[in-house]
Amino acid sequence: MATVKDVGERQLVDTIRSIVRPRSKNTVVGPGDDAAVIGGSSDGSIVISTDVVTKSRHFPKGMSYEQFGWTAAAVNFSDIASMGAKPLGFLPAVTIPEDEEENNLYDIMSGIDQCCEFCDVDVVGGDTKFGELAVAGTAFGTMEGRKPMTRRDAVPGDIVAVTGTLGDAAAGYYALEKGIDADEQIFKLMVPVPRVEYGIKMAATGIVHSCMDLSDGLANAACTICEMSRVGMEIEWEFLPVDDGTKEVLEACNQDVKDTVTRWGGEYELLFTFDRKDIKKLYDAGIAFSIIGLVTNDDGPYLRDGDKRTAMQNGIY
């Protein structure tokens, strides 16, 4: 019999989707997007997402318990932010080893609460049980009448854009590993900021065709939008917003800059597409972003660097 590891995460998810069957007319967006969108309320759909962070996978060397807690909340707020939702609350379900120091649990909760404060909501409930250290968080919010930004409505001809800068969290990770001084990058790794404000503003413009967060990396997000929208994408390496400092750190760590910047997960910027004629509405909304490519009716996504054009792969670090 195959184990879940043999099958692989991606194949598991596909199979699970064939097991859980859609049946409710209230489900506007079901599994397969950053977050689900549920109707059943006249003025503003509910947006909701759940993600587990575990000690073995999301607790890099040097991270504090407080930062682990912040991260557990942030990854979930990022998922509802990318739909354009205003957060309404958060619920952490924490499993913790019996022999864990009590202060570590309080630090996790404090980190969660600080991220909730950043998003102007409460920890409205939760659960604590003994087990391997993990936080299964649920963030939910409301569209307040805005149309959700999904992964499936990118249109050929759209501009592809991204908020913030890329590669910082990866650089922080490798800097820690090598003992290189890189405070700014390490902070970005430890305290990811969900783009809640940008998500709300973007959805409010009504002009964004598709949007997804970069929690699994740029290549993964580009591949997913292409697959779900049945479009292609051309991304220009020269256009990607990578800080010089971050480049230097990655080079000092002997990392391939291009590969790291495009494929490293754990970044919480938003990748989005829109019709170029509407660009002024995004500027007027006060959203800072970089144009990085175009949606095509070819296949893809491809990364172009001068004469080289390579297919972007879905794998993440």
| Whole-angstrom distance, CA of residue 230 vs CA of residue 295 | 10
Q: For the chain, how many residues are written? A: 317
* Nearer of residues 146 and 261 to a second copy, judged by Cβ: 146
Token digits of residue 90:
């958060």
- H or E stretch including 28? strand 27-29
Interface pick for a second copy out of 59, 62, 64, 93 (rule CB under 8 A) = 93
220 part of the interface to a second copy, by CB under 8 A: no
Residue 314 in contact with residue 212, Cβ under 8 Å?
A: no
Site string for a second copy, 33-72 (x = CB under 8 A): --xx-x-xxxxx-x-xxxxx-x-xx---------------
Binding to a second copy by residue 311, rule CB under 8 A?
Answer: no
Number of residues that bind a second copy (CB under 8 A): 80
CA 162 – CA 301 distance, rounded (Å): 15
Q: Which of residues 143-162 bind a second copy (CB under 8 A)?
A: none
Q: Which is nearer to a second copy, 78 or 262 (CB)?
A: 78
Vertex 296 angle, CA 292 and 298, to 5°: 130
- Output 44 or 62, the one with its CB closest to a second copy: 44
Backbone angles phi, psi at 23, to 5 degrees: -145, -15
Rounded Cα distance between 27 and 57, Å, is 31
Name which of 110 and 205 has its Cβ closer to a second copy. 110
Site for a second copy in 269-288 (CB under 8 A): none
**31/298 with CB nearer a second copy:** 31
Establish if 10 lies at the interface with a second copy (CB under 8 A).
Answer: no
What tokens were used for 145? 């009448």
- Give yes or no for residue 313 binding a second copy (CB under 8 A): no
